[in-house]
Amino acid sequence: MAGKRKRETDSSTSKSVTNGSALSKPAPNGDPKSSKVPKTHGHIDVKTTAPVIQIIAGSYERVLHGVTASISNLSASDSTAAVQFADTFLFNAHASAVRCLALSPLPEPGLSDAQGVYLATGGSDEKINVYSLAVSPVSENDKIPMPTLGNNTISENPRNRELGTLLQHSSNITCLYFPTRSKLLAGSEDNTISVTRLRDLEVVSTIKAPRPKVQGQPSGDTAPPGATPAGINDFAVHPSMKLMVSVGRGERCMRLWNLVTGKKAGVLNFSRDILQSVKEGKYSSGEGRRIQWSPDGSEFAVSFERGAVVFGEDSKPRCKILPQPLTKLHQICYLTLTAASDEKVTLLAASTEDGRVVFYGPSNATSTTNGEKSNDGAIPDAICYASIGGTSAGISTRIKDFEIILLPNNASPAARDMIIVAASSDGTIRLIHVPTPELMDATKSLKPVQLGKVIGIYATSSRITCMKAFLMQPPTEMEDDMEDDEEEFGGFDSSSEESSGDSS
């Protein structure tokens, strides 16, 4: 048998790993090994690697699109920041439109890469698909270029795989949520919320909400009797995992559920004052569209068509949110920032129809527009601190969904960079860079401040309905060592043919 062909090392070039991407750069001192990135505790040092964001988007065209965004030169300035996009997967996940997505909590950084992050997709075809996604990007090889299809780079990860399909619902799936890595909650238009165990994809419990009562139908309505709007619009689980609040179609109330017993804990009707404060008139549905708990569980926000109301732990309204100029709201999200003095600041972000992401301070909103407390019993307005996007930034289409990614900074948590991944209905995904210190300074300003700089744009050519994103972890040291030990194929030559002939 002929000996194995050893790989020849070129002393003039070396491989520099930057969070899974390989770039050909000359070694600073001529040693090929000197250009490797230092590794700590089994992982590449996060200070020397560029952040990679995994983005998953669902669309009306039934397409589930996965994209990775590698960000480089972000700390220097926005003018030199560069984003490289790569397609990770693209396929028809459902037989009809994809309605909602959910991501499980990420595993701890020191564990095996085999423990990926779970992805759940729900569509109008009554199905829920569960996938396992890799938490680390694919490491590239400088001698084997990444494949491309047109102008898009393809970076397929073999660790992305499908786990199974759930068929316990009988209507459209409207919302999904992972409270832990072992449980999945799903809401549907059949007025049920199911709890599924991910280990064997078995439904362990089902919460049934009552169908809303008919409030009266117009004389020209052609809907048959009993075909009134019904279903779960959204739900939110308290950080203690013992309480859940849900809002549904066709009812002007929110329902509280005891997750310990799985039974109803109470019903809170939206009063006329609450509905009028968010411009829900006589001919509006008056139903809650989205609901979110704050990270500390001290308050929760319910969004309507054109506004939102923040409630306290006692279920009494604290403040209201009305975007100016008045427009529709599509998504809300809480954000907790750390100041230089280790003080925690909680903000509420909302995406609008006119292409903005607006930040409010709901916990500190105790005054009206003239700076005086409201003594007439009206709900005070929330304080608008900053606005991102809009026509001034060249964004005019609605932001259907968005995610806020905080990049790690071990030196100073208060100086962390923030990336807002915004998905528009026209199929455009934008990455907006917002320095955290500038947003913290905006909370002390008396007027709303325009922030953010678009550093990357990706066109999916689909009408996006939902989107999720997470910050990927650096590749492990074991994975890199395996790549270094891989044998390269040297091709067929005369010597190899002779050796094969001798061995035969």
Distance CA 308, CA 305 (A): 8
Distance CA 390, CA 383 (A): 19
pTM: 0.81
Q: Give the pLDDT of residue 501.
A: 53
Phi, psi torsion values for 121, nearest 5 degrees: -125, 140
Query: Which DSSP string do the residues of 370-381 spell out, in sequence order?
Result: TSS---SSPPPB
Summarize the chain as % helix, strand, coil (round to 5).
10, 45, 50
At residue 337, does pLDDT exceed 50? Answer: yes
At residue 247, does pLDDT exceed 50? Answer: yes
Q: Which of the 8 DSSP states describes residue 481?
A: H
Closest CA to 162 of 118, 122, 126, 197: 118
**Mean pLDDT score of the chain, rounded to an integer?**
81
**Letter for the amino acid at 105?**
P
Instruction: Please name the residues in contact with 278: beta carbons below 8 A apart, sequence gap of 6 or more.
Output: 304, 306, 307, 308, 309, 320, 321, 322
Q: Give the pLDDT of residue 76.
A: 56
At residue 466, does pLDDT exceed 60? Answer: yes
At residue 14, does pLDDT exceed 60? Answer: no
Question: Domains of the chain, with CATH numbers?
Answer: 52-212+230-365+379-471 (2.130.10.10)
Question: What Rg value do the Cα atoms of the chain yield, rounded?
Answer: 26
Distance CA 246, CA 258 (A): 11
Residue of 181 and 113 predicted with greater confidence: 181
Q: What is the mean pLDDT of residues 226-234?
A: 83
Q: Which of the 8 DSSP states describes residue 398?
A: -
Residue of 109 and 39 predicted with greater confidence: 109
Q: What is the mean pLDDT of residues 3-31?
A: 40
Residue of 376 and 240 predicted with greater confidence: 240
Q: What is the mean pLDDT of residues 255-263?
A: 91
Least confident of 38-52, 80-94, 277-291: 38-52
The Cβ of residue 129 has, within 10 Å, a number of other Cβ atoms equal to 20
Query: Which tokens belong to 208?
Result: 């049934």
Instruction: Please name the residues in contact with 79: beta carbons below 8 A apart, sequence gap of 6 or more.
Output: none
- Helical H segments across 153-281, by residue range: 272-277
At residue 217, does pLDDT exceed 80? Answer: no
Closest CA to 64 of 88, 85, 84: 88
Residue of 234 and 261 predicted with greater confidence: 234
Closest CA to 421 of 34, 55, 28: 55
Yes or no: say if 299 and 382 are a contact pair by the CB < 8 Å rule: no
β-partners of residue 44 are 39
At residue 373, does pLDDT exceed 70? Answer: no
Yes or no: say if 131 and 118 are a contact pair by the CB < 8 Å rule: yes
Characterize 28-51 residue by residue with b for buried, 16 or more Cβ atoms within 10 angstroms of its Cβ, and e for exposed. eeeeeeebbbebeeebbebeebbb
Name the residue with tokens 């090392």. Answer: 9
At residue 142, does pLDDT exceed 70? Answer: no
Q: Which of the 8 DSSP states describes residue 160?
A: -
Q: Give the pLDDT of residue 36.
A: 40
Q: What is the dihedral of CA 286, 422, 134, 240, to 10 degrees?
A: -40
Max intra-chain CA distance, the chain: 99
First to last CA, the chain: 9
Least confident of 93-102, 220-229, 284-293, 493-502: 493-502
Q: Give the pLDDT of residue 341.
A: 75
pLDDT digits (tens, 9 = 90+) for 379-437: 999 999 999 999 988 899 999 999 999 998 766 766 788 999 999 999 999 999 999 98
Name the residue with tokens 């925690």. Answer: 344
Instruction: Please name the residues in contact with 165: beta carbons below 8 A apart, sequence gap of 6 or more.
Output: 127, 128, 129, 130
Name the residue with tokens 């860079």. Answer: 433
At residue 12, does pLDDT exceed 80? Answer: no
pLDDT digits (tens, 9 = 90+) for 65-117: 999 999 988 875 566 788 999 999 999 999 999 999 999 999 877 665 567 89
Label residue 479 by pLDDT band (50, 70, 90). very low
Label residue 28 by pLDDT band (50, 70, 90). very low
Residue 320 host element (H or E):
strand 317-321
Distance CA 138, CA 143 (A): 15
Phi, psi torsion values for 66, nearest 5 degrees: -110, 130
CA 35 from chain center: how many Å? Answer: 34
Q: What is the mean pLDDT of residues 319-338?
A: 94
Distance CA 243, CA 259 (A): 5
Q: Which of the 8 DSSP states describes residue 251?
A: -
Q: Give the pLDDT of residue 250.
A: 86
At residue 442, does pLDDT exceed 70? Answer: yes
Q: What is the mean pLDDT of residues 150-169?
A: 86
Distance CA 470, CA 260 (A): 30
Phi, psi torsion values for 482, nearest 5 degrees: -65, -35
Q: Give the pLDDT of residue 78.
A: 60
